Amino acid sequence: MSDNQNQTGRDYSTISPSAKSLLLLKGLTNIPFARKAAGLMLSPEKYEPDFTLKDFAFWARVVHFENRYWSIDQLLADLPIKNILEISSGFSFRGLAATQKDGVHYIDTDLPDVIELKKQFIDALQPDGINPKSKLDILPLNALDEKAFEEIVARFPKGEPIAIVNEGLLMYLSIAEKEKLCSIIHNILDKRGGYWITADIYLKQRARVTGMEMDDNLARFF
């Protein structure tokens, strides 16, 4: 069985193209390392963010994804926790930004194909290397593999609480998969203590706002 598949045989590597598209979108924001990473993603082509666009729906999406990113940082800032595990991180570099500070152990995870490319990006993005008083691990993980999940959590110091964070994962999972992920996270936090911070909270409605209709490109993204 592939590392990208769970017991149902579903191939989770299909998530990766949307992660790449999202990085190019975040390159228009002030999210740490996003613009430089977008440039690496398009290399050897040049990444030139276009701030002259007047498409309301496009900029609404940019604002949405930027706010989603910062909402996690805002919640983390209120916690006295230095051990952080991010699941399905895609081409977000929150871990690299976090480990510029002292005393942070950040484990950044996603599927193997994303992690392989992300490691190359991080080597190029590190300004002066990781803070010597912090630690950044970049590791492959299928978040629905409970054994692998627990093995990665075991890398944190024993007896210390952890924060598990994610954005942009749950909408790709079925109800059964969501239940399994919640069960895994609950069991881990029950043993270690800590928090789960997720930005994957959406209202179940199909209301349309003028200028926000879904075009073909957006439909393919979803």
Q: What is the CATH number of the domain that holds 58?
A: 3.40.50.150
CA dist 109 and 152 (Å) reads: 9
Tell me: the pLDDT tens digits for 44-78?
888 888 888 888 888 888 998 999 999 999 999 99
pLDDT of residue 14: 47
Report how many domains make up the chain.
Answer: 1
Q: What angle do CA 186, 113, 6 make, to 5 degrees?
A: 45
pLDDT for 137 beyond 70:
yes
Tell me, yes or no, whether 157 lies in a domain: yes
More reliable by pLDDT, 211 or 173 = 173
Cα of first residue to Cα of last residue in the chain, in angstroms, is 27
Amino acid at 111: L
pTM for this entry: 0.83
Tell me, yes or no, whether 220 lies in a domain: no
More reliable by pLDDT, 128 or 110 = 110
pLDDT of residue 209: 53
Tell me, yes or no, whether 126 lies in a domain: yes
More reliable by pLDDT, 127 or 207 = 127
Answer for the pair 62, 139: CB distance below 8 angstroms, yes or no. Answer: no
Give the domain extent around 70.
13-200
Tell me: the pLDDT tens digits for 114-123?
899 899 899 8
Bridge partner residues of 105 (DSSP):
83, 135
Bridge partner residues of 196 (DSSP):
164
Tell me, yes or no, whether 73 lies in a domain: yes
Answer for the pair 194, 159: CB distance below 8 angstroms, yes or no. Answer: no
Tell me, yes or no, whether 213 lies in a domain: no
Confidence of residue 11 (pLDDT cuts 50, 70, 90): low
CA dist 70 and 176 (Å) reads: 29
C-alpha torsion angle, residues 32, 36, 42, 48 (rounded to 10): 100
Tell me, yes or no, whether 212 lies in a domain: no
Confidence of residue 219 (pLDDT cuts 50, 70, 90): low
pLDDT of residue 8: 43
Q: 3-state SS of the chain: helix, strand, coil percent to 5?
A: 45, 15, 40
Element (H, E) at 136: strand 135-140
Tell me, yes or no, whether 2 lies in a domain: no
Confidence of residue 97 (pLDDT cuts 50, 70, 90): very high
User: Cα dist. 107→7, 101, 149 in Å?
Assistant: 25, 15, 11
Tell me, yes or no, whether 210 lies in a domain: no
Structure tokens at 201: 């909270």
